[in-house]
Amino acid sequence: MIEITIGSLEEQIIKFLRKTYPVTTAELSQKLRVSRREIEWILHKFQVKGIVKLEPLPDITYVRLLRNDFLFVGPKQQRKIMKQATDTKKEENGGYEGSMYS
């Protein structure tokens, strides 16, 4: 199973590839409203992992989804516990009336 974060661009690309075939990188960038360079970067990352196959032709590049075993997960929880801010206020001047208040 390949884990994909919900709400990420990777999730949008995979869902679009599941729904539409054949598809080009230009169509992907147009439908998702993302730059073509960013789409190509993510697709190259997917190709290295064996998720998609890019089929370049002289003027366009087709994308084919190779795997279909995805697990869409929510964002990872923070591992380190954050310290909670306390509402203790430092005691202000404590009734000090110096030469300024004479």
Residue 62 counted as domain residue: yes
Please report whether residue 60 resides in a domain.
Answer: yes
Determine the angle formed by the axes of helices 25-32 and 36-49, rounding to 10 degrees: 120
Is residue 98 in a domain? no
Residue 100 belongs to some domain of the structure: no
Residues in contact with 7: Cβ distance below 8 Å, sequence separation at least 6, in sequence order: 75
Q: Which domain, by its residues, includes 23?
A: 2-69
Instruction: Give the chain's domain count.
Output: 1
pLDDT tens digits, one per residue of 59-92: 999 999 988 888 888 876 666 666 666 665 555 5
What is the structure's pLDDT at 71? 80
Peptide bond connecting 22 to the previous residue in cis, omega within 30 degrees of 0? yes
Which CATH number do you get for residue 56? 1.10.10.10
Up-side HSE of residue 27: CA atoms within 13 Å toward CB?
A: 11
| pLDDT 10s digits, 2-30 | 888 888 888 899 989 989 888 999 999 99
Specify if 47 maps to a domain: yes
Cβ atoms of residues 100 and 30 within 8 Å: no
